[in-house]
């Protein structure tokens, strides 16, 4: 891999205790306006000019930049493998990692990395911005500076947040519980089904009870096999048999995230259920997630979800669509048997869903 590596000239002395690796992938934070007025990613070398306060930090900072920074709408499985690999390769050399990433797909990337990097004992913090770092009112500086602080934060000599998170607009959220919910305001992310891991104000207030505890002697495991033969199928009133059948007939389709209504409800018409049942019979794995941001799928609560349970649709509980589709890609790529994949889909593997009440 041909990455650009920049060592920032910060105030870090030889007796520094903290070091961070920033992985710059692109996104609005590092964008500038081109001649036509559209935002395009720029190279990270100029960052010190834009954030002079970085030079005052007593943290040794290294930046690895994607050779071609991307708008995160272009993120794909190769980028995820690259991000995870950079962390894996450099894991022992840094106290923490900050990934600068576009907001549009940040929740997908953070979810995927939480599966690809298991046994973490160091923070991996995704952040970005709604306005480019060069804009007067940019949120980029605060997001970046606080992410660096969180990435190096320790209590009793141990990292406080040994998990993959998103820090944005004063909130630290578990990455695989997050969702982009705002495209204009600064409070772009929410985690409806899991409490914030920290809130930053005058101090950073950590919610220790919600953070995955540091595990002494944990060893990082890196997984890089993913499979994108998946589909997210969002139900809507008026969906036709033709649409459903065509989607489920896609060649080599292996997994479907079925976005249902409310607590996991779907039409109860026979054509609908028979089409799904036939797909399940062909070995397609279907995971039921709710279109609601909060709450959970409870198959069997209403008659309209009881049938899904009967035909072998799995319950995603309170997982987000972002965490569900990446989990499906991760598990399908894992080489596990179908039965094992089904078992893992309905249980948390990286804190992405709650344990209570699987149906």
Nearer to ligand ASP, 72 or 288 (CB): 72
CB of 95 to ligand ASP, least distance (A): 26
Choose the stretch contacting ligand ASP; rule: CB under 6 A; options: 23-31, 167-175, 333-341, 348-356: 23-31
What sign results for the dihedral spanned by CA atoms 169, 175, 180, 183?
positive
Residue 322 touching ligand ASP (CB under 6 A): no
Given the residues 10, 25, 28, 275, select the one marked as catalytic: 28
Stretch that binds ligand ASP, among 16-24, 65-73, 248-256, 347-355 (CB under 6 A): 65-73
Residue 28 in contact with ligand ASP, rule: CB under 6 A: yes
Among 71, 139, 149, 307, binds ligand ASP (CB under 6 A): 71
Strand-pair partners of 321: none
Q: Locate 20 and state its tokens.
A: 């961070």
Are 99 and 70 contacting, i.e. CB atoms less than 8 angstroms apart?
A: no
Among positions 90-119, residues that touch ligand ASP (CB under 6 A) are 102-104
Closest of 47, 52, 49 to residue 65, by C-alpha: 47
If binding is defined by CB under 6 A, does position 169 make contact with ligand ASP? no
Q: By three-state DSSP, how is residue 87 classified?
A: helix
- Residue 73 or 78 with smaller CB distance to ligand ASP: 73
What is the size of the binding site for ligand ASP (CB under 6 A)? 11
Tell whether residue 307 is a contact of ligand ASP (CB under 6 A).
Answer: no
Identify the DSSP state of 327: H
**From residue 120, how far is each of 78, 123, 212, 213 by CA, in Å?**
21, 8, 10, 10
Q: Could you give the CA distance from residue 28 to residue 26 in angstroms, rounded to a whole number? A: 7
Residues 72-91 that bind ligand ASP (CB under 6 A): 72-73
10 is catalytic: no
In the complex, the smallest distance separating the C-beta of residue 25 from ligand ASP, rounded to whole angstroms, is: 9
Residue 173 phi, psi dihedral angles, 5° rounding: -120, 150
Nearest to 137 by CA among 102, 104, 185, 69: 185
* CA atoms of 114 and 223, how far apart (whole Å): 10
Q: In angstroms, what is the minimal distance from the CB of 127 to ligand ASP?
A: 10
| Least Å from the CB of residue 138 to ligand ASP | 11
Q: In angstroms, what is the minimal distance from the CB of 136 to ligand ASP?
A: 17
**Nearer residue to ligand ASP within complex by CB, 26 or 96:** 26
Give min distance, CB of 107 to ligand ASP, in A: 11
CA distances from 273 to 110, 229, 270, 313 (A): 33, 22, 5, 10
Q: For residues 109 and 176, which CB has a smaller minimum distance to ligand ASP in the complex?
A: 109
Segment holding 308, helix H or strand E: helix 303-310
For 307, the token pair is 């049938």
Site residues for ligand ASP per CB under 6 A: 26-28, 71-73, 102-104, 128, 130
Catalytic residues: 28
């Amino acid at each position: 891999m041909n990455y650009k590596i920049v060592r920032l000239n910060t105030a870090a002395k030889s007796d520094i205790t903290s070091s961070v690796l920033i992985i710059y992938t692109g996104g609005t934070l590092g964008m500038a306006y081109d001649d036509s007025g559209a935002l395009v990613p720029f190279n990270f070398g100029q960052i010190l000019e834009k954030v002079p306060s970085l030079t005052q930090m007593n943290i040794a900072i290294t930046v690895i930049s994607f050779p071609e920074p991307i708008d995160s709408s272009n993120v794909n499985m190769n980028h995820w493998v690259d991000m995870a690999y950079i962390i894996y390769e450099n894991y022992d050399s840094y106290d923490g990692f900050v990934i600068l990433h576009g907001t549009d797909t940040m929740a997908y990337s953070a979810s995927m990395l939480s599966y690809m990097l298991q046994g973490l004992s160091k923070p991996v913090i995704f952040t970005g911005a709604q306005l480019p770092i060069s804009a007067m009112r940019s949120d980029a500086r605060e997001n970046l500076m606080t992410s660096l602080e969180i990435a190096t934060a320790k209590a009793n000599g141990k990292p406080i947040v040994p998990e993959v998170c998103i820090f944005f607009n004063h909130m630290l959220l578990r990455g695989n519980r997050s969702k982009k919910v705002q495209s204009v305001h600064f409070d772009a992310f929410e985690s409806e089904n899991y409490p914030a891991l920290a809130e930053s104000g005058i101090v950073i207030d950590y919610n220790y009870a919600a953070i995955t505890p540091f595990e002494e002697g944990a060893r990082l495991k890196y997984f890089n096999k993913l499979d994108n033969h998946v589909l997210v199928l969002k139900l809507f009133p008026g969906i036709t048999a033709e649409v459903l059948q065509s989607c489920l007939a896609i060649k080599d389709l292996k997994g479907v995230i079925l976005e249902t209504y409310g607590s996991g409800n779907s039409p109860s018409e026979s054509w609908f259920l028979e089409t799904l049942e036939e797909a399940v019979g062909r070995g397609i794995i279907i995971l039921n997630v709710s279109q609601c941001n909060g709450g959970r799928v409870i198959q069997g609560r209403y008659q309209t979800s009881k049938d899904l349970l009967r035909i072998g649709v799995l319950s995603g509980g309170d997982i987000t669509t972002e965490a569900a589709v990446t989990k499906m890609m991760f598990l399908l790529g894992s080489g596990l048997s179908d039965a094992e994949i089904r078992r893992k889909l309905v249980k948390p593997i990286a804190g992405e869903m709650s344990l209570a009440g699987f149906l």
